[in-house]
Amino acid sequence: MNRIKLHDKYFVPFISNEKINAAIDAVAVKINNDFKNREDIPLLLCVLNGSIMFTGELMQRLDFLCELTSIRLSSYQGTQSTGVTKQIMGLSTDITGRCVIIIEDIVDTGHTIVDLQKLLIEAGAGEVKVCTMLLKPSVYRQNVKLDYVAMEIDNRFIVGYGLDYDQLGRNFKDIYVLE
């Protein structure tokens, strides 16, 4: 892990891939315990683009039947959250009466989670669970319960493992923090 440059900013190593994988292992155990005796087949909802890597790794560790779909939302410009969630690509799956597990890369202010939960309930979801790879607890002030949190971090701007800075940096297997 070395210092990297994305656009006009430098990032330094923050969380190794080994730590990320250990956190995914641990959160998968919790999810498997909650879903091991259920009859229904939950729908994993990958929030694009940032959650692709996390969703893929998590799915390989789940030992119950599940389906996968995606939605694409955006609330960031550069390094700042706009506070406004835009739907870039909507739901393409009927979720009426289904248990939907939102798979997020990171939850900070929580505006996206609130908006997404509302959208899913309005679309007829029977149950909504939230799973996030990363949580910034110092800035999360929403009433939506986060059912599964792999790791908590400080309120810092990060890239790698699906997370980007203006679309760059998602491909790194480790997570880097703004220098």
d(CA 132, CA 51) in angstroms, rounded, equals: 9
Q: What's the DSSP call for residue 121?
A: H
- 166 catalytically annotated: no
Helix, strand or coil, per DSSP, at residue 70: strand
Residues 6+ apart with CB under 8 A from 149: 27, 107, 131, 132, 134, 135
Q: Which of 105, 108, 164, 174 is catalytic?
A: 108
Q: For helices 52-61 and 17-35, give the axis angle rounded to 10 degrees.
A: 50
Q: Are 166 and 4 in contact (CB under 8 A)?
A: no
d(CA 178, CA 12) in angstroms, rounded, equals: 7
d(CA 106, CA 125) in angstroms, rounded, equals: 22
Q: What's the DSSP call for residue 168?
A: B
Active centre residues (catalytic): 108
